[in-house]
Chain A
C-alpha cells in the first residue's frame, strides 16, 4: 500500500513537471486561435498546418537550413572540444614540465569567471579581423580548450587511471603520444562521451554567442531563427512558433533518450549544470 502511494505521488509530481511539454505538443496540433482560451488539452480538430508553416521557416530561409546550421556548429564544437580538452587534460594529469601547476591553477580559476568579462574585447578583435558574421568566433574557443570545465572533468577522470599502465608501456618503449592515444584515451572514454554530449546540447541551445556574432539569417542556428520568428511574426502566428520551438528541441530530446545514463551519471559524479 505504501509502495503504491509512493508511485502515485511521484507520478503526480512528474505530471506537473512534464505538463509544459505535453501542453506544447498538443498546442502544435491546434489552430492558433484555439491554443489559448480553453482548458482543453487535446485539439478538437487536429491540424498539421502549424508544422507546414514552421517548415517554411522564417526570413526567407527554410527550417532545414537552420537545422543544418545548428548541426554543423554543434558537431564542429564537439570535435574541437573533445580533441583540445583531451590533449590539455593529458598534459595536466600525466606530463611533467615547468609551469604546469601554475597553469593548472589558472585553468581552475577560469572555471568561475563570468564570460561577460570577455565578450566585449573578443567582439572587438573579431570585428577588426572581419570575422563577425562567420562561425569562426563561435568555434575557435572550442578548438582551444577554453571550456575549462571539460578539461577539469577529463583531468579528474585520467587521475583515476592507474599510473602503472603508463609505466609498463614506457618500459615497452612507448612515448607520450602512444601512451595518450593507446592507453589513456580509450580508458577515459566515459569522460570524453560526457564532454561530447554536453558540448552538443549546450551548443545546440546556445543563443548568446550567435546573437552577438551572426547577422545574416541564412547563417542562423535554430535559437536565433526562433527569435527572428518572434520579431517578424510579432506573436500573430502562435501555432507555427510553437511547432518550430518543439522541432528545435527534438535533437536534444533524442540525445537525452539515448544517453540518459551517461548524462545523469556524469552530473552526479562531476557536478555539471544541465
Chain B
C-alpha cells in the first residue's frame, strides 16, 4: 500500500507560512483554502476519522452486521489470547516479518552496490530489477508463484538437478512460508532504487582517503558505506516492516482463508478478513484491527528508538 515516511522528521508546517514574506500579508486565503481542501476534509472525516472512532467502538462490542452491536467491554481483546487461530496468525506474521524484511533488504542492498557504478546499460538494468516490484503483489504473480513451486514444477525440477528433493513448496507446511518470503525478496526493486539514491550521496573522497590508509573492500563498506547510508537503511527497514505486517493478496491466493497448508500461511490480515467477512464477527475483527495497529505502532516506536544508536545523519557527529 501507499506509505511514505521521510527519512528526516517531517516539517509539519507548510512553507510560505509566517516567515518574513507571510508577515507582510495581512489577509489569509480563508474560504478559498477550505474550498480547495474540501474533498480532502470530507474524506478525512467520512472515510478516516469517523470510521476510526466507529471501529474503536465496535471493537468493544459483539456485532454481526445485522443485529445492533452489543457492548461486551474488553471481551474481544481477552478472547484473542485464547483463540488458537489468532495466536497462529500472530506467529505466522511475526515469523514472516522477521524473515522477509532482512532477507529482502540484504539482497536489495547487494544488488544496489553491484549497480552503483557508472557503466553502460545501467539505467536498463535498474529498470529491469525494479519491474517485479510493480507486479509482485498482484493475484497474477501469486498464481504464477504457487504454480512454479508446486510438485514437479520448475523449482522442484531445478532443485533436483542439485540433488535436493523437497517436493512442491506450496503444499508443504515446512516450505510454504519460505516461498512467500522469496516472493517478497523478488520485489527487491523498490528498496534497491532507494538504496541507490543513498549510495549516490556518499562522497567519493571518503573512499579515496580510506584506500590511501590501506582499508580493504570490506572495511570500506563497513566503516564508510554503511554509516553513510544508514538513514536510507532505516527508511527502507521502516517501510518494509510496516508493509510486511499487512501482506494479504499473495497469502490469500496461495493459502486461501484458512492459510493452507496447515495454517502456515494464515497471515494476520487473512484471519482478520475471514473473521470479518467470512463469519461476520465485525466486533472481533475490529478489535483485531486495533491490535494490529498497536503491534505495528510498537514495532515502529522500537525501530525509531533503536535508530538513535545506529542512524547517522550527515553533518552530525557520529
* Chain A contact residues, CB within 8 Å of chain B: 3, 6-7, 9-10, 13-14, 17-21, 23-24, 27, 35-39, 84, 87-88, 90-98, 100-101, 103-108, 110-125, 127, 140-141, 143-153, 155, 159, 163, 175-177, 180, 198, 201-202, 205, 207-208, 211-212, 222-224, 226-227, 230, 238, 241-242, 245-246, 248-249, 252-253, 256, 260, 263-264, 267-274
User: In the complex, A188→B232 CA distance in Å?
Assistant: 25
Given contacts A242-B143, A269-B197, contact A118 B161 (CB under 8 A): no
Q: For the complex of A and B, list the 5 residue pairs with the smallest distance between their C-beta atoms, beginning with the closest.
A: A274-B133, A144-B43, A97-B33, A121-B54, A91-B36
User: In the complex, A101→B1 CA distance in Å?
Assistant: 25
Taking CB atoms and an 8 Å cut-off, the chain B residues in 104-161 that contact chain A are 111, 114-115, 117, 119, 121, 123, 125-141, 143-145, 147-148, 150-154, 157-158, 161
A202 touches B2 (CB 8 A): yes
Q: Taking chain B's interface residues, is the majority helix, strand, or loop, or is none over half, making it mixed?
A: helix
- 12 new A-B contacts, CB < 8 A, other than A144-B42, A149-B4, A248-B139, are A6-B117, A17-B128, A18-B131, A39-B154, A93-B15, A101-B14, A107-B44, A112-B3, A127-B65, A145-B40, A245-B141, A273-B243
Does B229 sit within 8 A of A, measured CB to CB? Answer: no
Chain A residues near B243 (CB-CB < 8 A): 273
A149 touches B34 (CB 8 A): no
Chain B residues near A151 (CB-CB < 8 A): 40
Task: Give A160 Cβ to nearest chain B Cβ, in Å.
Answer: 10
A141 touches B43 (CB 8 A): yes
A122 touches B52 (CB 8 A): no
User: In the complex, A208→B220 CA distance in Å?
Assistant: 45
Chain A residues near B245 (CB-CB < 8 A): 114
Chain A residues near B209 (CB-CB < 8 A): none
Taking CB atoms and an 8 Å cut-off, the chain B residues in 9-30 that contact chain A are 10, 12-17, 21-22, 25, 28-30
B190 touches A267 (CB 8 A): yes
Q: Which of A113, A141, A152, A205 contacts B135 (CB 8 A)?
A: A205
A146 touches B43 (CB 8 A): yes
Given contacts A150-B2, A202-B2, contact A208 B248 (CB under 8 A): yes
A176 touches B14 (CB 8 A): no
**Can you list 7 A-B contacts (CB < 8 A)?**
A24-B148, A116-B293, A117-B289, A175-B32, A222-B140, A223-B140, A271-B239
Task: Give B59 Cβ to nearest chain A Cβ, in Å.
Answer: 9
Chain B residues near A211 (CB-CB < 8 A): 252, 273
Chain B residues near A269 (CB-CB < 8 A): 197
A230 touches B4 (CB 8 A): no
Does B258 sit within 8 A of A, measured CB to CB? Answer: no
Chain A residues near B21 (CB-CB < 8 A): 163
A242 touches B144 (CB 8 A): yes
User: In the complex, A108→B273 CA distance in Å?
Assistant: 27
Does B102 sit within 8 A of A, measured CB to CB? Answer: no
Residue of B nearest to A9 (CB): B114
Chain B residues near A93 (CB-CB < 8 A): 14-16
Does B163 sit within 8 A of A, measured CB to CB? Answer: no
B33 touches A35 (CB 8 A): no
How many residues of B sit at the interface, in one of the four size bands? 35 or more
A14 touches B134 (CB 8 A): no
Q: Which of B186, B188, B290 contacts A20 (CB 8 A)?
A: B186
A96 touches B22 (CB 8 A): yes
Chain A CB within 10 Å — which of B12, B58, B145, B300 has the most?
A: B12
Given contacts A110-B44, A223-B139, A252-B135, contact A176 B36 (CB under 8 A): yes
B134 touches A122 (CB 8 A): no
A121 touches B43 (CB 8 A): no
A100 touches B44 (CB 8 A): no
Chain B residues near A24 (CB-CB < 8 A): 144, 147-148
User: In the complex, A84→B41 CA distance in Å?
Assistant: 11
Does B306 sit within 8 A of A, measured CB to CB? Answer: no
A230 touches B131 (CB 8 A): no
Taking CB atoms and an 8 Å cut-off, the chain B residues in 164-199 that contact chain A are 186-190, 193-194, 196-197
A121 touches B293 (CB 8 A): no
Chain B residues near A94 (CB-CB < 8 A): 16
Residue of A nearest to B197 (CB): A268
User: In the complex, A159→B11 CA distance in Å?
Assistant: 12
Q: Which of A148, A226, A274 contacts B140 (CB 8 A)?
A: A226
B39 touches A14 (CB 8 A): no
User: In the complex, A271→B3 CA distance in Å?
Assistant: 9
User: In the complex, A214→B258 CA distance in Å?
Assistant: 21
Does B55 sit within 8 A of A, measured CB to CB? Answer: yes
A267 touches B130 (CB 8 A): yes
A227 touches B41 (CB 8 A): no
Chain A residues near B65 (CB-CB < 8 A): 124, 127
User: In the complex, A230→B253 CA distance in Å?
Assistant: 9
Task: Give A184 Cβ to nearest chain B Cβ, in Å.
Answer: 11
Residue of B nearest to A127 (CB): B65
Chain A residues near B22 (CB-CB < 8 A): 96
B29 touches A116 (CB 8 A): no
Residue of A nearest to B158 (CB): A39
Task: Give A33 Cβ to nearest chain B Cβ, in Å.
Answer: 11
